[in-house]
Amino acid sequence: MKILFDEDVPGKLARSLPMHEIHTVVGMEWGGVKNGQLLTLIEQEGFNIFLTGDKNMVDQQRLQGRPFAVLIMSAINWPVIRPHIDAISAAVDEAQSGTVKTIDCGTFSRKKPTGE
């Protein structure tokens, strides 16, 4: 599978998906490109999966029916998602073109400073 990691997806995750061709938005020199244009570029480059942590994208863009799958991670902080690599890998392996799926890979919450 040819996968594009959005700017917010930790690059370390690529090591956990060795059977796939991984590219990043930054590596493609698409950093800062607006979501609508980014989705068009993903189509044009023949990606199978777009992996992102942008939960707002579902409400802002038409994602269903595209020639690639969109996988939205519930968290993007590496220490939080690391224990969920099997779930992420399974979602990648099961991804179908034209679908959108949220992957439950934990949630990030800031610790309150002591004394509050």
Q: pLDDT of 62-93, one tens digit each?
A: 888 899 999 999 999 999 999 999 999 999 99
Domain positions in the chain are 2-103
Instruction: Region of 98 please: left (phi>0), alpha (psi -120 to 50) or beta.
Output: left
Of 82, 67, 74, the closest CA to residue 103 belongs to 74
| pLDDT value of residue 71 | 97
pTM: 0.89
Please list the rounded mean pLDDT of every run of 10 residues in the chain (116 residues). Answer: 96 95 97 92 97 88 89 95 96 96 83 57
Tell me how far apart the alpha carbons of residues 49 and 35 are, in angstroms, rounded to a whole number.
Answer: 15
- pLDDT value of position 64: 83
Helix (H, G, I), strand (E, B) or coil at 42: helix
